[in-house]
A and B are shown apart, each in its own frame.
Chain A
Amino acid sequence: NAGVTQTPKFQVLKTGQSMTLQCAQDMNHNSMYWYRQDPGMGLRLIYYSASEGTTDKGEVPNGYNVSRLNKREFSLRLESAAPSQTSVYFCASSEVGRGPYEQYFGPGTRLTVT
Protein backbone atom coordinates (compact mmCIF):
# COMPACT_ATOMS: atom_id res chain seq x y z
CA ASN A 1 0.00 0.00 0.00
CA ALA A 2 1.88 3.07 -1.24
CA GLY A 3 -0.64 5.66 0.02
CA VAL A 4 -0.14 8.94 -1.82
CA THR A 5 2.72 9.16 -4.28
CA GLN A 6 4.06 12.24 -6.06
CA THR A 7 6.47 12.76 -8.91
CA PRO A 8 8.94 14.31 -9.28
CA LYS A 9 10.53 14.81 -5.87
CA PHE A 10 12.62 17.77 -7.00
CA GLN A 11 12.42 20.08 -10.00
CA VAL A 12 14.18 23.22 -11.15
CA LEU A 13 12.48 25.33 -13.80
CA LYS A 14 13.34 28.51 -15.57
CA THR A 15 10.83 31.34 -15.59
CA GLY A 16 8.24 30.73 -18.28
CA GLN A 17 8.71 26.98 -18.51
CA SER A 18 5.80 24.64 -17.90
CA MET A 19 5.54 21.39 -16.02
CA THR A 20 3.04 18.96 -14.54
CA LEU A 21 3.22 17.51 -11.06
CA GLN A 22 1.73 14.06 -10.78
CA CYS A 23 -0.13 12.59 -7.82
CA ALA A 24 -1.72 9.20 -7.32
CA GLN A 25 -3.43 7.50 -4.40
CA ASP A 26 -4.31 3.87 -3.86
CA MET A 27 -6.73 4.25 -0.94
CA ASN A 28 -9.86 4.58 -3.10
CA HIS A 29 -10.48 8.07 -1.73
CA ASN A 30 -12.98 10.32 -3.42
CA SER A 31 -11.29 13.64 -2.65
CA MET A 32 -7.86 14.88 -3.62
CA TYR A 33 -6.03 18.14 -2.94
CA TRP A 34 -3.04 20.17 -3.95
CA TYR A 35 -1.30 22.42 -1.42
CA ARG A 36 1.75 24.59 -1.45
CA GLN A 37 3.91 25.05 1.64
CA ASP A 38 5.90 28.22 2.12
CA PRO A 39 7.96 29.20 5.18
CA GLY A 40 5.88 31.01 7.77
CA MET A 41 2.65 30.49 5.85
CA GLY A 42 1.72 26.90 6.55
CA LEU A 43 -0.05 24.97 3.80
CA ARG A 44 -2.36 26.76 1.42
CA LEU A 45 -4.88 24.97 -0.74
CA ILE A 46 -4.39 25.49 -4.47
CA TYR A 47 -7.09 23.25 -5.96
CA TYR A 48 -9.14 20.33 -4.83
CA SER A 49 -11.31 17.65 -6.34
CA ALA A 50 -14.21 16.46 -4.22
CA SER A 51 -14.86 13.52 -6.54
CA GLU A 52 -13.85 12.15 -9.90
CA GLY A 53 -14.84 14.59 -12.61
CA THR A 54 -14.99 17.68 -10.41
CA THR A 55 -12.38 20.28 -9.51
CA ASP A 56 -12.59 23.56 -7.67
CA LYS A 57 -10.36 26.44 -6.72
CA GLY A 58 -8.80 26.75 -3.32
CA GLU A 59 -7.15 29.71 -1.67
CA VAL A 60 -4.29 30.32 -4.15
CA PRO A 61 -5.28 28.98 -7.62
CA ASN A 62 -3.73 31.66 -9.82
CA GLY A 63 -1.06 30.33 -12.17
CA TYR A 64 -2.14 26.69 -11.80
CA ASN A 65 -4.44 24.24 -13.49
CA VAL A 66 -5.49 20.76 -12.42
CA SER A 67 -6.82 17.60 -13.96
CA ARG A 68 -8.61 14.80 -12.14
CA LEU A 69 -7.63 12.10 -14.59
CA ASN A 70 -9.51 9.32 -12.79
CA LYS A 71 -10.28 8.41 -9.22
CA ARG A 72 -6.62 7.65 -8.47
CA GLU A 73 -4.81 10.51 -10.17
CA PHE A 74 -4.83 14.28 -9.76
CA SER A 75 -2.25 16.39 -11.58
CA LEU A 76 -1.18 20.01 -11.11
CA ARG A 77 0.11 22.02 -14.05
CA LEU A 78 2.13 25.19 -14.09
CA GLU A 79 1.68 26.69 -17.55
CA SER A 80 4.28 29.45 -17.23
CA ALA A 81 6.34 29.13 -14.09
CA ALA A 82 7.23 32.23 -12.07
CA PRO A 83 9.73 32.64 -9.21
CA SER A 84 6.77 33.20 -6.85
CA GLN A 85 5.82 29.57 -7.47
CA THR A 86 9.01 28.34 -5.83
CA SER A 87 7.60 26.19 -3.06
CA VAL A 88 7.05 22.69 -1.76
CA TYR A 89 3.93 21.13 -3.24
CA PHE A 90 1.93 18.48 -1.44
CA CYS A 91 -0.83 16.31 -2.75
CA ALA A 92 -3.33 14.79 -0.33
CA SER A 93 -6.38 12.56 -0.44
CA SER A 94 -9.29 11.77 1.86
CA GLU A 95 -12.82 10.65 2.11
CA VAL A 96 -15.30 13.51 2.35
CA GLY A 97 -18.46 14.25 4.25
CA ARG A 98 -19.45 15.04 7.80
CA GLY A 99 -16.24 13.44 9.10
CA PRO A 100 -13.85 14.61 10.22
CA TYR A 101 -11.74 12.69 7.76
CA GLU A 102 -7.99 12.57 7.88
CA GLN A 103 -6.15 13.82 4.84
CA TYR A 104 -3.25 11.62 3.78
CA PHE A 105 -0.31 13.49 2.35
CA GLY A 106 2.29 12.60 -0.22
CA PRO A 107 6.03 13.19 0.27
CA GLY A 108 6.03 16.51 -1.58
CA THR A 109 7.70 18.04 -4.62
CA ARG A 110 10.30 20.71 -4.03
CA LEU A 111 10.09 23.15 -6.95
CA THR A 112 12.52 25.97 -7.62
CA VAL A 113 11.83 28.51 -10.33
CA THR A 114 14.83 30.62 -11.36
Chain B
Amino acid sequence: AQSVSQHNHHVILSEAASLELGCNYSYGGTVNLFWYVQYPGQHLQLLLKYFSGDPLVKGIKGFEAEFIKSKFSFNLRKPSVQWSDTAEYFCAVENDSWGKLQFGAGTQVVVTP
Protein backbone atom coordinates (compact mmCIF):
# COMPACT_ATOMS: atom_id res chain seq x y z
CA ALA B 1 0.00 0.00 0.00
CA GLN B 2 1.10 3.54 -0.68
CA SER B 3 2.28 5.37 2.40
CA VAL B 4 3.95 8.46 3.79
CA SER B 5 6.29 8.00 6.76
CA GLN B 6 7.51 10.65 9.14
CA HIS B 7 10.35 9.27 11.21
CA ASN B 8 9.99 11.31 14.37
CA HIS B 9 6.71 11.64 16.19
CA HIS B 10 7.98 14.03 18.83
CA VAL B 11 11.00 16.35 18.78
CA ILE B 12 12.14 18.66 21.57
CA LEU B 13 14.90 21.15 20.96
CA SER B 14 16.21 24.47 22.21
CA GLU B 15 15.94 27.81 20.48
CA ALA B 16 18.67 28.37 17.89
CA ALA B 17 19.13 24.63 17.34
CA SER B 18 18.82 23.23 13.84
CA LEU B 19 15.80 21.19 12.86
CA GLU B 20 15.47 18.39 10.35
CA LEU B 21 12.30 16.35 9.97
CA GLY B 22 12.32 13.26 7.82
CA CYS B 23 9.64 12.27 5.34
CA ASN B 24 9.63 9.24 3.04
CA TYR B 25 6.94 8.11 0.66
CA SER B 26 6.32 4.94 -1.28
CA TYR B 27 4.74 6.16 -4.54
CA GLY B 28 6.57 5.15 -7.67
CA GLY B 29 5.31 7.71 -10.14
CA THR B 30 5.20 11.47 -10.39
CA VAL B 31 4.43 13.17 -7.11
CA ASN B 32 3.79 16.61 -5.72
CA LEU B 33 5.14 17.08 -2.20
CA PHE B 34 4.04 19.36 0.59
CA TRP B 35 4.84 20.30 4.14
CA TYR B 36 1.99 21.71 6.22
CA VAL B 37 2.21 23.13 9.73
CA GLN B 38 -0.38 23.36 12.48
CA TYR B 39 0.43 25.89 15.18
CA PRO B 40 -1.29 25.43 18.56
CA GLY B 41 -4.94 26.34 18.28
CA GLN B 42 -4.71 27.13 14.57
CA HIS B 43 -5.63 25.30 11.41
CA LEU B 44 -3.20 23.76 8.96
CA GLN B 45 -1.31 26.03 6.66
CA LEU B 46 1.17 25.42 3.87
CA LEU B 47 4.88 25.75 4.62
CA LEU B 48 6.20 24.81 1.20
CA LYS B 49 5.60 22.61 -1.82
CA TYR B 50 7.53 20.86 -4.57
CA PHE B 51 6.37 20.09 -8.08
CA SER B 52 9.40 20.02 -10.34
CA GLY B 53 12.68 21.81 -10.95
CA ASP B 54 15.18 22.68 -8.24
CA PRO B 55 14.92 19.93 -5.61
CA LEU B 56 15.74 22.43 -2.85
CA VAL B 57 12.56 24.30 -2.06
CA LYS B 58 12.28 27.34 0.17
CA GLY B 59 9.14 28.09 2.11
CA ILE B 60 7.84 30.55 4.64
CA LYS B 61 9.45 31.40 7.98
CA GLY B 62 12.92 30.23 6.94
CA PHE B 63 11.99 26.62 6.25
CA GLU B 64 13.35 24.65 3.33
CA ALA B 65 13.00 21.09 2.08
CA GLU B 66 15.04 18.88 -0.20
CA PHE B 67 13.53 16.37 -2.59
CA ILE B 68 15.77 13.35 -3.16
CA LYS B 69 14.05 11.24 -5.78
CA SER B 70 16.35 8.24 -5.41
CA LYS B 71 15.55 8.04 -1.71
CA PHE B 72 11.84 8.89 -2.05
CA SER B 73 12.44 11.54 0.58
CA PHE B 74 11.38 15.14 1.19
CA ASN B 75 13.02 16.27 4.41
CA LEU B 76 12.22 19.58 6.06
CA ARG B 77 14.95 21.75 7.55
CA LYS B 78 15.41 24.99 9.41
CA PRO B 79 18.90 26.15 10.43
CA SER B 80 17.87 27.94 13.63
CA VAL B 81 14.48 27.42 15.27
CA GLN B 82 12.54 29.86 17.39
CA TRP B 83 10.06 29.29 20.18
CA SER B 84 7.31 30.26 17.73
CA ASP B 85 8.15 27.20 15.60
CA THR B 86 6.48 25.00 18.21
CA ALA B 87 3.86 23.21 16.14
CA GLU B 88 2.90 19.95 14.50
CA TYR B 89 4.40 19.38 11.06
CA PHE B 90 2.86 17.19 8.40
CA CYS B 91 4.38 15.86 5.22
CA ALA B 92 1.88 15.19 2.42
CA VAL B 93 2.13 13.58 -1.00
CA GLU B 94 -0.12 14.00 -4.01
CA ASN B 95 0.31 11.39 -6.72
CA ASP B 96 -1.62 10.76 -9.92
CA SER B 97 -4.96 11.49 -8.26
CA TRP B 98 -4.80 15.24 -8.30
CA GLY B 99 -5.95 16.84 -5.10
CA LYS B 100 -5.94 13.63 -3.07
CA LEU B 101 -3.30 14.14 -0.44
CA GLN B 102 -1.80 11.35 1.62
CA PHE B 103 -0.52 12.74 4.92
CA GLY B 104 2.14 11.43 7.22
CA ALA B 105 1.35 10.90 10.90
CA GLY B 106 2.85 14.24 11.84
CA THR B 107 5.77 15.34 14.01
CA GLN B 108 5.14 17.38 17.13
CA VAL B 109 7.98 19.87 17.54
CA VAL B 110 8.49 21.65 20.85
CA VAL B 111 11.04 24.46 21.00
CA THR B 112 12.13 25.43 24.49
CA PRO B 113 13.34 28.96 25.28
- In the complex, what residue of chain B is closest to A92 when comparing beta carbons? B44
Asked whether B43 lies within 8 Å of A97 as measured between CB atoms, the reply is no
Q: 1/0 per residue B28-47: CB within 8 Å of A?
A: 00001110000000111110
Interface size on A, residues (CB 8 A): 29
Asked whether B9 lies within 8 Å of A100 as measured between CB atoms, the reply is no
The yes or no answer to A105 lying at the interface (CB within 8 A) is yes
The yes or no answer to A44 lying at the interface (CB within 8 A) is yes
Contact of A42 among B49, B90, B94, B98 (CB under 8 A): B90
Do A33 and B103 contact each other (CB < 8 Å), given the known contacts A100-B51, A107-B43? no
Asked whether B99 lies within 8 Å of A33 as measured between CB atoms, the reply is yes
The complex places the Cα of A98 from the Cα of B99 at a distance, in Å, of: 9
Asked whether B99 lies within 8 Å of A48 as measured between CB atoms, the reply is yes
Asked whether B32 lies within 8 Å of A99 as measured between CB atoms, the reply is yes
Asked whether A41 lies within 8 Å of B43 as measured between CB atoms, the reply is no
Grouping DSSP codes into helix (H, G, I), strand (E, B) and loop, the B interface class, with mixed when no group exceeds half, is strand
The yes or no answer to A66 lying at the interface (CB within 8 A) is no
The complex places the Cα of A45 from the Cα of B94 at a distance, in Å, of: 12
- In the complex, what residue of chain A is closest to B104 when comparing beta carbons? A42
The yes or no answer to B68 lying at the interface (CB within 8 A) is no
- In the complex, what residue of chain A is closest to B107 when comparing beta carbons? A42
Asked whether A99 lies within 8 Å of B51 as measured between CB atoms, the reply is yes
The complex places the Cα of A48 from the Cα of B9 at a distance, in Å, of: 27
Q: 8 closest Cβ contacts across the A-B interface?
A: A100-B32, A42-B103, A105-B44, A43-B103, A105-B43, A42-B105, A96-B99, A102-B46
Q: Residues of B with Cβ closer than 8 Å to A? A: 4, 6, 9, 32-34, 42-46, 49-51, 90, 92, 94, 98-106
